[in-house]
Amino acid sequence: MSGSSNASSHRPPRIGESPLVRRALIIGVLVVSAFVIAAPLAVIAVQAFSKGVETYLAAITHPDTLHAIGMTLVTALIAVPINTLFGIASAWAITKFDFPGRRLLLVVIEIPFSISPIVAGVAYLFVYGLQGLFGEWLSAHDVKVLFALPGIVLASLFVTAPFVARELIPLMQAQGRDLEEAAASLGASGLRTFFSVTLPNIRWALLYGVVLCNARVMGEFGAVSVVSGNIRGQTNTLPLHVELLYHDYQTAGAFAAASILAGLAVVTLFVKVALERRGAGRRNRPAFVAEPAGISKETP
């Protein structure tokens, strides 16, 4: 006992053990958070209502603002389910099967995180634009992709493609393939195996990825600004509408529209914390995986 106490007394101090250092770190983090995160959110709330509630409501209910909100919601309703299915399918393929190019697929899924959204938007111009790869064919068949809803959806799909997959892949790798193989050996079909075995074990991580994907779709600016054309009342999403209002010196309207996005961010944060408490997120990967639900040897 004396030897261990002597060893602990002579070990070098760790960073943060000193009360002074600990307090300094906490105060530093709080100050930075206040100026970088809390202050901008407070300014948005104050400026949005700076000219009264009536002006705020008038800005929110303006036809252009309502159209931008509708365009944002429609984009999310299309892009989020598609990327959810893509994330599930890619995670299933990568974690449950061995095939040539598996590592390459992992790299491809992560590409949107390493490419600027504006670069992605410009790339879509060279693919679907009038002078692009498919531009002449699309023009000849009167198919409009860019400066319309399809282009906005494509850009949103690109920037949000990894969110669901990157939450599911580490979890499904940790779980392994034993439960699915056991279910298959008991006669369960592929769909039955997925809904009875795989989905219950990934549901919170799946919801976590969907929430993050939805938040990014609604807040995306760079790629969408390139492919939408910024046509007021036609192809503007809510982030683009905020920029147009600000450039038109309609400060109250810009902050009113921005308050919707800020509110979405706060709601997303609370949902994210709630899901993390239920076992979602990378900090809460389960060490134990439940047994297959609803599958027995008598299952046909």
* Residue whose entry in the numeric block shows the structure tokens 């070098």: 12
Q: Which residue has the higher pLDDT, 158 or 200?
A: 158
Q: How far apart are CA 80 and CA 280, in angstroms?
A: 18
Sorting pLDDT into bands at 50, 70 and 90, what band is 72? very high
Predicted local distance difference test score (pLDDT) of residue 80: 93
Q: What is the mean pLDDT of residues 190-198?
A: 79
State how far the Cα of 112 lies from the Cα of 278, in Å rounded to an integer.
28
Residue 153 contacts residue 72 (beta carbons within 8 Å)? no
pTM for this prediction: 0.78
Distances (CA, A) of 275 to 27, 124, 164, 199, 204: 28, 35, 14, 16, 6
Residue 175 has pLDDT above 90, yes or no: no
- At position 276, the amino acid (one-letter code) is E
Q: What is the pLDDT of residues 59-70, one digit of tens each?
A: 889 999 999 999
Q: Residue 161 — φ and ψ, nearest 5°? A: -55, -40
What tokens were used for 238?
Answer: 């809510």
pLDDT > 90: percent of the chain? 17
User: Which residues, 6+ apart, have CB-to-CB distance to 240 below 8 Å?
Assistant: 68, 221, 224, 225, 228, 230
> What is the sign, positive or negative, of the torsion defined by CA atoms of 161, 163, 165, 170?
positive
User: What's the mean pLDDT when you consider all of the chain?
Assistant: 82
Write out pLDDT tens, residues 113-136: 888 889 988 999 898 888 888 888
**Secondary structure of residue 12 in the 3-state scheme:** coil
C-alpha to C-alpha distance for 185 and 177, rounded to whole angstroms: 12
